Structure 1
Amino acid sequence: MEVKKYDLEPIPRNVDVKTPEDEIFLSVKIGNGQIGGNKVSLEGEVIAKGNLNEPTYIGDVDTLSEKVLTVETNVLDVNGFTNRCVITTSFVNHHNEELFSKIDKSDAPENGVVSFNGKYRIKYGLLLLLFFALFNPGIFAQVGEGPLEFSHLETPTSPGLILFDQTPSAIEKPTTPQGLGLSLLGIGQNGGALEVAPYWLVDHPNLTAEDMYTNRTPFLSHLGVSVATINSDTLSCISGGIRTRLYQSYGKNVGRLEQLKNRIIDALSEGAFDRVDSLRRAYVEITERPVVNIDLAAAVGATSQTNSYGELEINRWAVWASCNVRPQGDDFYLTLLARYVHNGTFEETNAQGDLADLGTRLNYDIAKFTLSLEYVHRLNLTYEVFDHYRLAAIASYKLFDNVFVTATFGKNFEAVNDIIALAGVNFGFSHKKIKAF
């Protein structure tokens, strides 16, 4: 496991106490949904360690005055949206009056650890702390890349591409918005999609790992906005889409996540990084597999029959919801789909008018393979045509970290030319998760 270490400046940082009777408490909050552990030392002796999210007593003024505390905070990247790590270090007295507070941030190696090392001198007297607060920018470090494995890192299929029935899968696989992503269609279809998760463009110092897995309505954190294009010899299409998660639940696995989180904190506090790696894998394996989740998406699309973007006309829009159920929280899961489509003239679809899609998909993950079988029945509500359906088998294989090949074979909705034979490549726009600038 890769570990990046940073010394927090200035060295040391001064903590100004108010009275000689002050009793000093320390807290270190880990933000951005990451997990961290702490070790506090005074003259080589450990006086506190572990989870310091709540103020922890470290001594009185007589004991600490003019001495330097060493606070080591190790933060593990467990967040599939961002590897930015944010900590808030605060000192208060027994009256809960703030003596010192500072937010520090840095990027951890992908799936690795960033180690913050701070020195704090406890001083009694009137110091010019305001000067340091205003003119010390803290640290901001760009770190090297690491192995990329969280949640398979297969960027989610853009709602805009799904709108035109041109993706390897018509039902989205239950993944989270990856930030920036690029999806390429198979040979002969020159197009792609770009998606961004706005929530993760800024830091969230007070967002804990527990907040991430106990929040049953993660609307903002899972919000993704995308733009997609499809080009052929005679047709140009452009679409925009949004998607988010309305509900998720880990069921009884919440208790398991809490246990793993505490074990990770203990290992990080002790610097036992050899234990952290296996604990992280167990933790992530649960967080990427909710027992139940409900997602919502919408998209609007425009096409040009002359292959000219200047003559684009909006002719299709859709809203849909999917429910994913993983009964045992393991590799087998079921997806249910309901979608409404207003369909105008489009070269690839014979059914015109208002459409309703109802479908189901069975999924099974085997190591680097994902195998799926899906059925979608399409009802044309305008012309009362109810015999169109899509039946497809999908196979996805992880070639390398962040690179996937997907193949689809089956029958599409059309009455003629209805054979599906698509191959696609899906990979991250960059080798890093989105950074919260």
Structure 2
Amino acid sequence: MEEIRCLLWLLMVFGTASPKIWTVLHHWKTPQKACEALRDSSGASQQGLPSHVVRRMHQIHAAQVDEVLARCEKQKISILWYGEPEYPEELFAIVNPPVLLFYRGDLSVLRGTLSLTVVGTRHPSEYSRSVAWKLCRDLVQLGFVMVTGFAVGIDIIANRCALEAGKPSVALMGCGLDIAYPQQHFELKEQIAANGLILSEFLPGTPPSPANFPIRNRVLSGLTMGTLVIQAPQRSGTLITAENAMEQGRDVFCVPPANIFDKQYQGVIKYLRDGAIPVFDCRDIVYEYYTNHAHQIDGSVLYDEDRSKSDSMVMTMGEEAQEKEKKAKKPPESPEMPQVPAALPAEPEPEQLPEPVESEAPAELEELDESSRRIYQLLRENSPMHIDAIAAAVDMEMEQLTETLTILELNGVITRLPGKQFRIM
């Protein structure tokens, strides 16, 4: 219990997911020794900590830690620290794993089971919804545990499939577990907690800030063997999870689009080009793990009476979706062939990307805040830079930095490279 109290204090001082927590833990070996040293001004100065962290060291006392513990007890939220045997061992293989996890439900659903992260857009097409329902329903019947970020859209579909099949699923939240988010799915979250597991690395009471979700996504991909992406445009938070999975050496599966020219699927196409495993049926996922996990897979689901071995469920659904679209629209009197360029330009590999050039600040930057301008100027002079180097240069908390980088990326001002590197466009 004393370890949890010390780690809570460190979390409140440094902020959720701050890599500096692990720096001090490695330096002083135990949470207790780290707290004792940092409460001494000489220990803080030895680590060269930023002024806002030193200020919080003097502001956060035992009383605030007790308030968090009382809130967890009232909300029936349990706390797991990294030194306990129940801590998911998969997370030790990722960069900057959570030092604490807050949870409700059964932790055993993550131990000794086949787990798969499912991500996708919050606004799926009819095709993507149909594919998600079919794939996830088959996978949970085969024995897979669906792990999602519990966002509206594809994530909710995956969790519902598990509940309808009477199987457990996992929801990793980007806020405190006591926060009703998404508001319309509060009852569903309670059902998941009763039948599976909900967890978060964020302190109870933490609101669902936009900065939380990119931070959360490294854990979302790190909890499982692979990540399944179902529909994502080119600039999508979904792709942050896919990128994390690739960096962590996990499998990335992508459902091919029904229409390769549909911009809603451009992010998926990028990862298919980069080597993601295309999924036309649940068997494309199962076969990746069957050799080592055959004893955990119920193979009877693979070949039912209504599906031959050569059937492609995704392609069939794509044809059905296109047929419905044709019926819904009145055909033109003189149909014309779509105009496409004679040759589509190949997407350059990361090492072929052109070096950033000196240019005026883009128009989008004028609408952003001072922090965004500082980061843009820094990357303009030093591209590319690792996120930790950026954090050190601008003296900004990791939550705020991650949110600012995400906004800049979505506005097309900067681009994310493999290995958590960033450069200007």
The structure whose Rg is larger is 1
Q: Structure with the greater relative contact order (CA < 8 A, sep ≥ 6): 1 or 2?
A: 1
Q: Could you state the TM-score of these two structures normalised by the residue count of structure 2?
A: 0.24
> Whose strand fraction is larger, Structure 1's or Structure 2's?
1
Q: Could you state the TM-score of these two structures normalised by the residue count of structure 1?
A: 0.24
